[in-house]
Amino acid sequence: MISIRLLLLVLVLVLPGAAVHAEAGQPVDLAFFYGRGCPHCAAMKQFLQIMEEKHPQLRVREYEVYFDDNNARLFERVADAYHFQITGVPTIFLGEDAITGFSEDAEAGLEQKIERCIAQGCGSPLDRTAGAARARTLTFPAVQFGSRCWVTTSCVDPPSISQILTGELEPESSIGTSD
């Protein structure tokens, strides 16, 4: 009899906490790029505010791109990291998804994506830009020996970066001509 009471007491104390933990889910970052004065952006912003209230795990990061050059450059870097062609605003990046535009019809699908990320976890869209930013700073000037070259836009079949970095390429090898 005591063990049954003890079991019930444990269940009463543990299960509510477990339910709260399950509802809490993973924190989720959503990058929202918008333009001041854009009516679709204003509608998206209002929807995202409702989603933040409904899902406290959701952290909407807002970036105005019409009047803020730094945010516009960040928009380009995030889009590059997603291999996404910028076509306008509003644009959001969430998990593996990049979504441009907003309509009331899209609300349910977007909320499902948010809930999926909360349940399963999604990386921050800005985390993707760290590698992309480093990759952009790695540049190689043209190295030419007479009419032969290693890396230049006029080379035919330029070498791979690994060939250049490992020294597999010899200056006298013919990669292409700059003629």
Tell me which of 3.40.30.10, 2.160.20.10, 1.10.10.410, 1.10.10.10 is the CATH number of domain 25-134.
3.40.30.10
Residue extents of the structural domains in the chain: 25-134, 139-179
For residue 100, the tally of other CB atoms under 10 A from its CB is 16
One-character DSSP codes across 34-81: E-TT-HHHHHHHHHHHHHHHH-TTEEEEEEE-SS-HHHHHHHHHHHHH
Q: Which two tokens stand for residue 3?
A: 């063990």
Cα separation, 66 vs 37, in Å, equals: 9
Pick the closest to residue 143 from 116, 176, 97, 119 (CA basis): 176
* pLDDT by position in tens, the chain (length 179): 555 554 444 444 444 433 333 345 789 999 999 999 999 999 999 999 999 999 999 999 999 999 999 999 999 999 999 999 999 999 999 999 999 999 888 899 999 999 999 999 999 999 998 865 443 333 344 444 444 444 433 334 445 555 555 555 554 444 444 44
Pick the closest to residue 43 from 122, 3, 103, 92 (CA basis): 103
